[in-house]
Amino acid sequence: MEENNHSDNNDLSTGRRRFIQYGIASMAIASTTHVALARRDGTNVSSEPEELATDLTTDVDVVVVGGGTAGTVAAIQAGRAGAKTLLLERSGQLGGMTTVGGVCYPGLFDAWGKQIIAGIGWELVKESVELDGGTLPNFAKVPKAHHHNQVIINQFVYSILAEEKCVDAGVEIAYHEFIQNAKATADGWELNCAGFGTNRRVRCKQIVDCTGGAEVVGLLGYKRMREDETQPGSYLFQLGGEHPVGRKQLHQIYVHGADSTNSRTVTEAKLAGRNLVLKKLRQAKGKKRLMHLQPEPGFRESYRIVGETVITVNDYTSGRKFDDAICNAFYPVDLHTKNGVRPKPLKPGTVPTIPLRSLIPKGSKNIIVAGRCLSSDRLANSGLRVQAPCMAMGQAAAATAALAAKKKVTPLDVPLAEIHQLLAKHDAIIPGKE
Ligand SMILES: Cc1cc2nc3c(=O)[nH]c(=O)nc-3n(C[C@H](O)[C@H](O)[C@H](O)COP(=O)(O)OP(=O)(O)OC[C@H]3O[C@@H](n4cnc5c(N)ncnc54)[C@H](O)[C@@H]3O)c2cc1C
């Protein structure tokens, strides 16, 4: 049986597997020889760092930092718009909260009986559902509860499909890499990036920060905001019964204080979340098995940028139509606290919009953000942070960055009509033109 499965592979993949095996074997021999030599002549292996580091320089138009919910869409849009694009993602796969966090039920693409968000995010969601043999919600029907129209997707299908679309759009993906430091140049940025065994200098015209917590914006010293109290994170898992991937949501447990700010706080959240799952397993006394555990906890809230415009909860709940709106959003005000969550639905007919200026750090040049870190007060953010608007922001931010790179201007100076035109060309829905 095992043999048969293997013979399903075509010659190319068999050849590639052999190549990888031989490659690994010769690498193993080389490193053994290296260690043996090093020992014989008394040289300390670690004194030869040039054997470990790869130094390279990459010149691009746009760097997207963070290949999560917003960043994946951003990279595809930048690439498809003809910008030479590099995507830096510190983990090893695309999708962020949608896949690594296990929140694989993006919403909301519709409001009040019609689709209000489409474009590249929707293309990815729709295709991954179709490829997985799933069903899409009927947006013509107004659901009883908002979450009924969230789209349940297969996180594994989504992440590999996203990868394929990035590659097809000409995006260079750099997993396990992040920016160490950055400096402004006459026409953009010079970044020093690091991954294991990799030192990369990147020269780019525009940065799209999609790190969730606006990490690049923080690194560059632009203002960010966050309150002392933040919403709890959640760890996603499945205890008892197999998890039907792409058909049902996972179990969730709150991780209070979960903070995505840095590797130390993320480690703390991971340890705390996994410990809670272990406790649940112990409580089950062998009657339930742990069938699924995500690699990362889900983080709901950390830093938001202080942008050229700050979206207030009044703007959000009144469905303000901003002059520089670049996409729609739709979700209840949804603030999780120590005691849980009580979503406050928007009034019938209300569809909030997201202005371009809420994606631009105040006083900045050549940088734009997308995702949950957009400039908004805490309550507005509790609704704006969901995945469909994050994807729409990713597309809009990248379209703006690609145009800015081409025109050699900063994002704020790109004419709005040109951004709308490019977005419409790539199937996004422009507010007021649904
Ligand atoms: C438990 C939970 C339940 C939720 N429920 C829903 C729901 O029902 N429906 C819904 O639509 N939304 C839901 N959300 C909200 C939504 O999932 C997130 O707000 C959204 O996915 C955030 O997208 P993002 O692109 O801003 O960030 P992320 O998806 O987190 O992406 C950030 C990416 O940046 C990478 N990164 C971070 N720092 C760096 C760096 N320095 N260098 C390189 N890469 C970096 C990360 O690895 C990650 O891939 C939920 C969130 C949580 C936590």
Tens of pLDDT, residue by residue, the chain (434 residues): 233 333 333 333 333 333 333 333 333 333 333 343 444 555 554 555 455 556 899 999 999 999 999 999 999 999 999 999 999 999 999 999 999 999 999 999 999 999 999 999 999 999 999 999 999 999 999 999 988 999 999 999 999 999 999 999 999 999 999 999 999 999 999 999 999 999 999 999 999 999 999 999 999 999 999 999 999 999 999 999 889 999 999 999 999 999 999 999 999 999 999 999 999 999 999 999 999 999 999 999 999 999 999 999 999 999 999 999 999 999 999 999 999 999 999 999 999 999 999 999 999 999 999 999 999 999 999 999 999 999 999 999 999 999 999 999 999 999 999 999 999 999 999 999 88
The whole-angstrom separation of Cα 144 and Cα 412 is 40
Q: Please tell me if the CB atom of residue 61 comes closer than 6 angstroms to any atom of ligand 1.
A: no
**From its phi and psi, is residue 69 left (phi > 0), alpha (psi between -120 and 50) or beta?**
alpha
Q: Is 139 helix (H, G, I), strand (E, B) or coil?
A: coil
Q: Please tell me if the CB atom of residue 99 comes closer than 6 angstroms to any atom of ligand 1.
A: no
Residue located nearest, by CA, to atom 15 of ligand 1 = 386
Distances from the Cα of 180 to the Cα of 11, 261, 394, angstroms: 42, 15, 23
Q: From the alpha carbon of 178, which atom of ligand 1 is closest?
A: 42
CA nearest 187: which of 34, 62, 48, 80? 62
The whole-angstrom separation of Cα 283 and Cα 157 is 33
Which residue among 211, 231, 255, 378 has the greatest number of ligand 1 atoms within 8 angstroms of its CB, and so is best to mutate? 211
Query: What is the DSSP pairing of strand 304-305 with strand 224-225?
Result: antiparallel
CA of 299 to the centre of ligand 1 (A): 7
DSSP code, position 311: B
Query: What is the rounded radius of gyration, in angstroms, for the C-alpha atoms of the chain?
Result: 23
Strand order in the sheet with 367-369: 172-175, 85-89, 62-65, 206-209, 367-369
Q: Please tell me if the CB atom of residue 71 comes closer than 6 angstroms to any atom of ligand 1.
A: yes
Distances from the Cα of 288 to the Cα of 101, 192, 241, angstroms: 22, 48, 8
Task: Give the contacts of 85 (CB within 8 A, at least 6 positions apart).
Answer: 60, 61, 62, 63, 64, 75, 78, 79, 169, 170, 171, 172
CA of 289 to the centre of ligand 1 (A): 28
Task: Give the contacts of 108 (CB within 8 A, at least 6 positions apart).
Answer: 117, 146, 149, 150, 330, 331, 386, 388
Q: Is 79 helix (H, G, I), strand (E, B) or coil?
A: helix
The whole-angstrom separation of Cα 223 and Cα 304 is 9
CA of 100 to the centre of ligand 1 (A): 9
- CB of 336 closer than 8 Å to CB of 378: no
Q: Is the dihedral of CA 389, 164, 175, 178 positive or negative?
A: negative
What integer pLDDT is reported at residue 4 of this predicted model? 35
Residue located nearest, by CA, to atom 38 of ligand 1 = 211
Residue located nearest, by CA, to atom 45 of ligand 1 = 66
- CB of 274 closer than 8 Å to CB of 253: no
Residue located nearest, by CA, to atom 23 of ligand 1 = 69
What integer pLDDT is reported at residue 434 of this predicted model? 82
Scored b (16 or more CB within 10 A) or e, 342-355 reads ebeebeeeebbbbb
CA nearest 429: which of 308, 330, 359, 345? 330
- CB of 76 closer than 8 Å to CB of 102: no
Helix, strand, coil percent content, the chain, rounded in steps of 5:
40, 20, 40
Q: Please tell me if the CB atom of residue 299 comes closer than 6 angstroms to any atom of ligand 1.
A: yes
CA nearest 251: which of 263, 260, 240? 240
Distances from the Cα of 214 to the Cα of 312, 368, 374, angstroms: 19, 10, 8
CA of 68 to the centre of ligand 1 (A): 6
**From its phi and psi, is residue 270 left (phi > 0), alpha (psi between -120 and 50) or beta?**
alpha
Q: From the alpha carbon of 94, which atom of ligand 1 is closest?
A: 49
Q: Please tell me if the CB atom of residue 385 comes closer than 6 angstroms to any atom of ligand 1.
A: yes
Assigned token pair, 230: 């933040």
CA of 342 to the centre of ligand 1 (A): 21
What integer pLDDT is reported at residue 22 of this predicted model? 31
Q: From the alpha carbon of 100, which atom of ligand 1 is closest?
A: 49
The whole-angstrom separation of Cα 26 and Cα 181 is 36
Which residue among 69, 104, 256 has the greatest number of ligand 1 atoms within 8 angstroms of its CB, and so is best to mutate? 69
The whole-angstrom separation of Cα 428 and Cα 434 is 10
Distances from the Cα of 328 to the Cα of 30, 166, 240, 410, 421, angstroms: 56, 24, 39, 23, 16
The whole-angstrom separation of Cα 353 and Cα 316 is 8
Instruction: Tell me the residue ranges of DSSP E strands in 285-378.
Output: 290-293, 304-305, 325-328, 336-337, 340-341, 353-355, 367-369
CA of 210 to the centre of ligand 1 (A): 9
CA of 67 to the centre of ligand 1 (A): 10
Q: Please tell me if the CB atom of residue 210 comes closer than 6 angstroms to any atom of ligand 1.
A: yes
Residue located nearest, by CA, to atom 22 of ligand 1 = 372
pTM higher than 0.85, yes or no? yes
Which residue among 97, 196, 224, 263 has the greatest number of ligand 1 atoms within 8 angstroms of its CB, and so is best to mutate? 97
Torsion of CA 320, 325, 330, 332, to 10 degrees: -40
Residue located nearest, by CA, to atom 20 of ligand 1 = 387
CA nearest 361: which of 178, 187, 214? 214
